[in-house]
Every structure is written in structure tokens, then in C-alpha cells.
Amino acid sequence: MTVRSISCDTVIVGAGTAGLEAFRAASEAGADCVLADAGRLGTTAQRSGELPASCLMTAGMSVRALSALSKMGVAVPDADLDPSGVLGMVRAQRARATTSVLSFLYRIPEEKRLRGLVRFSDPHTLMVGDDTKVTFKSAVVATGTQPLVTYEQSQIRNIITTNEFYEQERLPGSAAVFGSTAVGLQLGQALAYLGSDVTVFGQRQLWNLTDEEVLSTALDMFSSRFSLAVDSFITSIDPEQDGYSIYYIDGGRYENYLHTTQVIAATARIPNVGGLNLAHLGVRLTREGYLTTDPRTMQTSLPNIYAAGSVRGTESTAMAEIEGRYAGLNAARPERQVKIPETVNIEVCHTDPVLAIAGLSFEAMKKRAVEEHRPFVASHALFGDTISGSRQQHGGVIGLYTDRQSHLVMGAEICADCADHLAQLVAFAIRKKTRVEELLEFDFVHLSAEEILSQAASEAVQKLSGGSRYMPLLQPQG
């Protein structure tokens, strides 16, 4: 077989969100770039990730809003809702979103756009398939992740992941979703709102929450809105002609039976590093297989190889794009390394209610307290009757974390309808190095969701002052 040889300055492995941004940035920096990818065209976020999940959740929330109208005194005539066109709508939205990505890909010259499995031979050489050898000065690995199907799940006939779910013609009449991850919670809740008989199986630690009070509230609120089985033990899954019979022991140690037509694996995602040969080259990986990098430059343990996006554990699509940009710049101009500006962490899970983390999580604060000897106080406030935009807030909680020495706000975990908005407000406060007393003194509008920050700050100040009530200093009159 004849092997074609290509030389370039920078090779980008992976054509997802991070990879395309790395290619764009490296090319604009003057590097001669090659893009190599083995997956389907279009980014994972657009094909089976954030975009279709959000569209499905929006459809589900619209149906739920109809059922809530009667509580507001608005009579709604009985109507049979037919969700048969929802997946078609999702695919149409997905197609429109991927147009710009495909347009960018097809503007890359064909000889610079390689398709096939990639394997690194040495730190400056890789093979694409069996017939193309690429020699390069630097590389950016942005191969993303794929759904994990455990060995036990792989024994289930016709089990599907989110990669296959959105390709179906119709929503399933019933489903068992395995995984209390963001995608598992979104998918299960949206299907339940759209009329499917759904049970979501998962761990008690929903998504990335680590604060017990926030976690307990989230469990209660989710369990009241769809069937959520946490800390359950599956005893058997028996395939039948029309679906599956599932027997399981729930958290209360009671045996349950469930019949469902579809089983969906949404347990976790794993990095696409199999076959790349990176560990053999000396690139350091985490125990889970993620690439370890300098968090500011995206440089791996091999100086000429960089990584960006979910292959290094990044969950946010927006952050993956930023990482790809800086990885591309630094790969193209290694003599002028540019660092990603320090940002405040924001994580959001768009469920109902929304889950969010701003700054440091409760677990991260505990780790910081031990490793850096920086004690903190955790304060909590429950949402009452509040208004967020045009929506009424129905319950929820915020956990606010304050450094005991400096009184600076350091982080928060939130479960509430408006958690995504509050997380950004808290992140801004963290970035501006806001003391918790400033939150207490600010005049938040009464009955607004933001007023919860004043309540959480009040408890924090009392804890910091040993239980005495905080009295703000009055400004002298001019």
C-alpha cells in the first residue's frame, strides 16, 4: 500500500467545538494546519449533546407550562397532545445549527482535511488511517468524549445512548434512563413531561452537586416531577418481545418491578483517547483517561502537544471553545505562550429546577480548607414566593460559601428555577472580590429571586460574627 506523506506546522486531531476553534486560531496565527478526524461531521454538542437536549427540554417545559395554567386561574380545554413531531423538530434545529460548522469545514482544502482513525507514532508523527502519514511541529488533541456503556449495560439487547436516541422517528412510550448525569436528568425529565413513562436510575449525588442541603432539595423537587430511583440495585433486566422487564431494589430496600420499551445509557462519558497511543509517547493521563494539561496554556506533558475541550474533562461548550482558541494559538506560536485569562467557574445543568455551581463547590471549599488551611462558612437560604422575570419561583435553595478570614464570597451551589441567572451573578461577585457584607447591604428588589442572596449573606455574616446580628454602617449625611 502506498503511504501518502504530509508535512505541516500544526495538526489538529478532532473536529468538534474545541478542535475547530483550535484550527481557526492556529491558521489565523500563520500556521500551516491539517485537521484530522474520524467521527461524524458536526460537533458532539450539536449532534447529541447540549443543543438537542435543550430543544427536547424546551418542548417538555412547554407542555408542563400548560398543566400549570389552571393553578394560575386560567382554564385550559382538555386536549390530546401529540408529541410525535418533537424529534423531527430537534433534528431540524440541529441541522440549522450545524450549517455554519459544515460550511467552515468545507472551506478547508481537501488535502488539509483528513478522515480516518489517528495514531501517534512519535511526538512529531501520526498516521491517519493506514495510508496517510503526517509530520508536524505541534499538535492539538481535541477528540472529545463518547457515551460510556458499562459491561453490564452492554449485555442488554438494543440498549441505546444519546448518540442513537435523537435518530429515532418517535419518542418511546416508556423508557428506563440509566444515569443521574446532566444528560440523564434532562433526557428523563423531558420525556416524562412529554408523556413517556420514564424512570431515571442513578446515584444519590445528582450531577455535580456536593452540598448535602442543596442535594436533598434537588432530590425532593425532581422526585415530585418525574420518577427518580436513586441508590437502587438492579437485580435483573429480562428482554421481552415488546421491551424489558426490570427488577430492582430501591433505596428503601423494597423490591420493584418495571416494564419499559427502551433502555437508555446516560451514565457517563469517557474521553476518546483509545488508539491514539498518547500514553506510550509519555503524555500524562488521569486515571479516567483524560489528558492533563497546564490549565492556562493547554500544554500537555509533551511540550509540543496541547489538548482542549472535553478530552481534558471540560464540560462546558463555551469553555471548550476558549480552550481550543488558546491551544491553537500556543501550538502555532510556541515561543510566545499566551495564558487563558483567569475565569470564575460556572456550571449549569438545565433541568427543572435548574442546578448550578458558581466559583468553588462545597467539596472544593472543603478541600481548600484542608490543603490551604483556609476555613470557611456555608450559609443556606430557601426560596419562598419570589418572581424571576415573568416566572414565579417555586421552591429551591442556595448554598453560599464565604472565606472566614477575608469574608470574600468564594462559591455557591444552587437548585432553583433561576439558578443559571443567580450563578452568573454570584460569579460576577466572586470576580469583583465582593465581601459577603456587601451582598447583605445591597438593596435587592423585594420578591425578586436575587433577594435570596441577601438572606444567605445574612446567615453567613451571623456565623462570621459569632452569632451576633450585623448592623451596617450608616453613611454620614453631607
Which CA distances in Å does 90 have to 9, 81, 86, 94, 245? Answer: 39, 17, 6, 6, 29
CATH number of the domain at 4-49+88-143+270-332, please? 3.50.50.60
Residue 61, all three cell numbers: 417545559
pLDDT band at 386 (very low <50, low <70, confident <90, very high): low
pLDDT band at 448 (very low <50, low <70, confident <90, very high): confident
The residue count of the chain comes to: 478
Residue 253, pLDDT score: 85
On the question of pLDDT at 339 being above 60, the answer is: yes
Mean pLDDT of 401-409: 97
Residue 478, pLDDT score: 43
Rama region for 30: left / alpha / beta (φ>0; ψ in -120 to 50; rest): left
Which CA distances in Å does 34 have to 42, 138, 431? Answer: 17, 11, 38
Mean pLDDT of 94-114: 84
Residue 260, pLDDT score: 96
Say which residue, 449 or 354, is predicted with more confidence.
Answer: 354
On the question of pLDDT at 476 being above 50, the answer is: no
pLDDT band at 190 (very low <50, low <70, confident <90, very high): very high
Return the sign of the alpha-carbon dihedral for residues 129, 304, 273, 37.
Answer: negative
Say which residue, 203 or 414, is predicted with more confidence.
Answer: 414
Domains 151-267 and 346-464 share a fold: no
Residue 281, pLDDT score: 94
Residue 98, pLDDT score: 77
CATH number of the domain at 346-464, please? 3.30.390.30
Which CA distances in Å does 26 have to 34, 138, 139, 317, 331? Answer: 10, 10, 10, 19, 7
Residue 388, pLDDT score: 55
Residue 104, pLDDT score: 83
- Structural contact between residues 423 and 346, judged by C-beta atoms closer than 8 angstroms: yes
Residue 384, pLDDT score: 76
Specify the range with the lowest mean pLDDT, choosing from 107-111, 215-219, 344-348, 361-365: 107-111
Residue 271, pLDDT score: 94
Residue 385, pLDDT score: 55
- Structural contact between residues 262 and 174, judged by C-beta atoms closer than 8 angstroms: yes
Q: What are the residue ranges spanned by the domains of the chain?
A: 4-49+88-143+270-332, 151-267, 346-464
On the question of pLDDT at 279 being above 50, the answer is: yes
Mean pLDDT of 315-330: 93
Specify the range with the lowest mean pLDDT, choosing from 200-204, 397-401, 431-435: 200-204
On the question of pLDDT at 103 being above 90, the answer is: no
pLDDT band at 391 (very low <50, low <70, confident <90, very high): low
State how far the Cα of 131 lies from the Cα of 446, in Å rounded to an integer: 67
On the question of pLDDT at 390 being above 50, the answer is: no
Q: Encode pLDDT of 137-146 as tens digits.
A: 999 999 999 8
User: What class is the 151-267 domain?
Assistant: alpha beta
Mean pLDDT of 226-230: 94
pLDDT band at 397 (very low <50, low <70, confident <90, very high): very high
On the question of pLDDT at 332 being above 50, the answer is: yes
Q: Encode pLDDT of 47-74 as tens digits.
A: 777 888 889 999 999 998 887 787 778 8
**Selection from 137, 462, 118 nearest residue 311 by Cα:** 118
**Selection from 275, 272, 281 nearest residue 16 by Cα:** 272
pLDDT band at 207 (very low <50, low <70, confident <90, very high): very high
Contacts by residues 25-29 (CB-CB < 8 Å, ≥ 24 positions apart): 25/324, 25/325, 25/326, 25/327, 25/328, 25/329, 25/332, 26/140, 26/328, 26/329, 26/331, 26/332, 27/328, 27/332, 29/328, 29/329, 29/332, 29/333
pLDDT band at 3 (very low <50, low <70, confident <90, very high): confident
On the question of pLDDT at 301 being above 70, the answer is: yes
State how far the Cα of 459 lies from the Cα of 382, in Å rounded to an integer: 12
On the question of pLDDT at 477 being above 60, the answer is: no
pLDDT band at 402 (very low <50, low <70, confident <90, very high): very high
**Selection from 446, 380, 452 nearest residue 417 by Cα:** 452
| DSSP bridge pairs for 11 | 34, 139
Q: Encode pLDDT of 18-45 as tens digits.
A: 999 999 999 999 999 999 998 776 667 7
- Structural contact between residues 140 and 300, judged by C-beta atoms closer than 8 angstroms: no
State how far the Cα of 259 lies from the Cα of 261, in Å rounded to an integer: 7
Mean pLDDT over the full length of the chain: 90
CB-based contacts of 178, cutoff 8 Å, min separation 6: 153, 184, 201, 202, 263, 264, 265, 266, 267
- Global confidence as pTM: 0.90
